[in-house]
Structure formats: C-alpha cells, structure tokens
Structure 1
Amino acid sequence: MTQHDDADLPQGPYKLRLFITGSTPRSTRAIENMRRICAENLEGRFDLEVVDIYQNPEATKELQIIATPTLVKILPEPLRRIIGDLSDRERVLAGLDLAPLGEDDQAHS
C-alpha cells in the first residue's frame, strides 16, 4: 500500500492550458475530463484555459504543441505535457503531481 502525505503535493495555484482542435468528440471529452479532475482535485486553485488551435493557431508555437488534445501544466513548475483525451485519470493526476505514479515509485523515493 502506498503511503502518500498531502504535504508532498504542490499547494499553489495551477495554471493549465488545454489545446484542442474544434468541437470534435475527442476535444469535448478532453475538456469534460479535465474540468472534472480540476473540480475534484484543485477546487479554487486552478486556472484552466482552453485553446482551440483552429481559432488560434499561433498559440501552439510558444509551447511547441504538435498533437491535440494536449494539456500543458504551466504552473507549478516543472512544465508538463499530457497528450490525449485525459480519460486515464491516474495518469493525469500523476502528470499534474497530484498523485504518486504507483507503488513502484516508492522504491525510487
């Protein structure tokens, strides 16, 4: 069993940017999944910006977005990218540093 202390988790505000392409089912699913994860795990301490690259293609250059949907965790550092519809909740939480990656990680702590 993995012991995890909430003190190990980042406590500051999260700045997240979700890059999508139009209103496709995959884009819609990514937005819904991310809003649910934020509501359950980051209530009151996140800023989620959704960027449709069809409407704002220039936005992809700064963060070098090559696939969508892509979630970028800008703050807290380090910057992280998660590609896909964000349906793998554990992978998203680990990518946001909100949960351990798994019991195997404990051996490396």
Structure 2
Amino acid sequence: MESTEEIWELRLYVAGKTMKSVTALSNLNKYCEEHLKDKYVIEVIDLLVQPQLAEGDQILAIPTLVKKVPEPIRKIIGDLSNEEKVLVGLNIRPARRVE
C-alpha cells in the first residue's frame, strides 16, 4: 500500500566545503535518517558554483537550510548542531523522546 505521507524537500545552501558546511550537511543527514527515514530529499547547493540560486530563496548567510515541502517554507541558518532547534524549526516531531 502506498504511503500518503509527503516527501520532505530540503535544500542546504553552502559555500564550498567549509567546516560549517560539512558539519551542517552531516547533522542534517543524521536528523533526517532518525526522524524522516525514507521520506526526504536533500539538495545541496554550493553558492560558489551556482551563486545565482541564492536569490530565489533569499539566502543571506550560509550555511542555510530551506524546507520547501511540506509548507510552510522554513529557513534555518548555521551548522544545524542544535538538534532540538532544527527539529522545532522544521516542525518535525521527534521519532523518540531523548532525555
């Protein structure tokens, strides 16, 4: 039976392979695997390669994570090291309660 749950579309804007960018992607992958297993797509956009793409999502700082789907669109700036802040920012219900 097909699942009716949406696929989360996440876009991570970075500028090269800086420590912050690598950390942000690593953290994002970890959270998605824990909380959105098999229900997410991450698109990484390197603004050193495609600077014109920053304008569409109004990117002012990097790294920036943009949640495109499900709406509402949300943005989180930084290396995503604070899991609780990221989950709340993306409106993700934690898969399990961690004390």
Which of 68, 73, 83 is matched with 2:67 structurally? 73
Distance apart, 1:95 and its partner CA: 1.1
Q: Secondary structure at the match of 1:60?
A: helix
Are the aligned partners of 1:90 and 1:99 in contact in 2 as well (CA < 8 Å)? no
The equivalences for 1:80-99 within 5 A come to: 80-99=74-93
Q: What's the TM-score, normalizing by structure 2?
A: 0.87
Unpaired runs of 5+ in structure 2? Answer: 95-99
When Rg is computed on C-alpha atoms for both structures, the one with the higher figure is 1
Unpaired runs of 5+ in structure 1? Answer: 1-10, 101-109
* Code of the aligned partner of 1:17: R
Q: Secondary structure at the match of 2:81?
A: coil
Distance apart, 1:31 and its partner CA: 0.6
Runs of 4+ in structure 1 over 4 Å off: none
**Any idea what the Cα deviations from partners look like across 1:32-55, whole Å, max 9, x if unmatched?**
000101111111110100111000
* Code of the aligned partner of 1:35: N
Aligned position for 2:97: none
State the number of aligned residues: 90
Aligned position for 1:57: 51
Superposition RMSD in Å: 1.1
* Code of the aligned partner of 1:30: A
Aligned position for 1:105: none
Q: What's the TM-score, normalizing by structure 1?
A: 0.79
Which of 34, 40, 44 is matched with 2:38 structurally? 44
The percent identity for this pair of structures is: 43
Distance apart, 1:99 and its partner CA: 3.2
* Code of the aligned partner of 1:91: K
Q: Secondary structure at the match of 1:51?
A: strand
